[in-house]
Structure 1
Amino acid sequence: MAADPKNTRYAKLRIAQKQMGLDEDAYRDRLERETGKRSAKEMTVAELDKVLTGFKRDGFRPAPPRTGKATSSRPEVRKVFALWGELAPSLRSGGSRESLRAFVKRMVGVDDPNFLSGAQAGVVIEALKAWGKRA
């Protein structure tokens, strides 16, 4: 089931309100100025988009969409993420990022794969390869 397109816009409006430092009255005044309505719940998707466009014009910068892919500039860390992704279907956790962090912490005492040294990454990679052979 797809997410309601309005819900994502409501969330973006609240993020814009916070990012731009608008109190509730200023926020509602802004909604009314753009659409004639003081409540986002009364607006159509097109009206919500109009308000968001106005916020962007005045400086609101939404965060870029997350791809869900773990990235790193370091090839050994990308290898850790890739091996973990291959194991994900066989894991009870589903291969969550938190479970990878816990695994790395148990293996080499580092809280996040992005902070692995080359040698530590090698240890984790070899452990993941061995796990993959057993799975």
Structure 2
Amino acid sequence: MSTKKALMAKIHIAKKELNLDDATYRDVLWRVTGKRSCKDMTIAQLQDAAKDMQNSGFKPKATPKHGSKPNVTKRRQPLINKIEAILADMGLHWNYAHGVGEQMFKIKRLQFLNDQQLYKVTQALSAHQQSETLKAAKEAAKPKQNAK
């Protein structure tokens, strides 16, 4: 979704959650931007309108930009917890793990992998973690050169 479309959607959600009738909504837009319709606004004007609605009490819900933890059976939860720990240690998000699963098995979400595939994703992430740890240790051990 483009930034403009996303901002327009956010403003329309705010309108609904703030219980603004159409006339009041358009008055707010006019007061903030000098325009009565979102489609006529620039991105900066849309941002201003969204900010004004937030100041009026609209609380936008956080959008999951980093993927979400898969919902799996209790039996598979230890593998998901291991993946979560590896991702946290490396500062990566769930989308990274989902991407590894898709690259390895052409399946977009980890929860759709079978047990063996999920285990292989865990092994791949663990190997990547060890590789990155060794690389960081080598970088730290290198003597620093004086810049002149």
Give TM-score, length-normalised by structure 1: 0.58
Q: Displacement of 1:62 after TM fit?
A: 1.2
Q: Displacement of 1:30 after TM fit?
A: 1.5
Pairing 1:96–2:106 present: no
Pairing 1:6–2:20 present: no
Change in 2 beyond 3 A, CA 1:55/1:132: closer
Aligned partner of residue 79 in structure 1, secondary structure: helix
Pairing 1:79–2:82 present: yes
**Deviation string for 1:33-91 (max 9, x for gaps)?**
2222111111122211111111011111112231233348xx72333677x63432133
Q: Which residue of 2 aligns with 1:30?
A: 28
Conserved 8 A contact 2:15-2:25: yes
Q: Which residue of 2 aligns with 1:119?
A: none
Q: Which runs of 5+ in 2 are unaligned?
A: 71-76, 88-96, 124-148
Q: Which residue of 1 aligns with 2:61?
A: 63
Aligned length: 104
Change in 2 beyond 3 A, CA 1:13/1:130: closer
Q: Which residue of 1 aligns with 2:119?
A: 129
**CA–CA distance in 1 between the matches of 2:117 and 2:33?**
58
Q: Which runs of 5+ in 1 are unaligned?
A: 108-123
**CA–CA distance in 1 between the matches of 2:65 and 2:19?**
28
Q: Name segments (4+ residues, structure 1) moved above 6 Å.
A: 130-133
**CA–CA distance in 2 between the matches of 1:132 and 1:45?**
42
Change in 2 beyond 3 A, CA 1:52/1:130: closer
In the alignment, which of 44, 47, 67 is matched to residue 45 of structure 2?
47
Conserved 8 A contact 2:33-2:45: yes
Conserved 8 A contact 2:26-2:37: yes
Q: CA RMSD in A?
A: 3.2
Change in 2 beyond 3 A, CA 1:42/1:78: same
Q: Displacement of 1:21 after TM fit?
A: 1.6
Residue identity opposite 1:40 in structure 2:
C
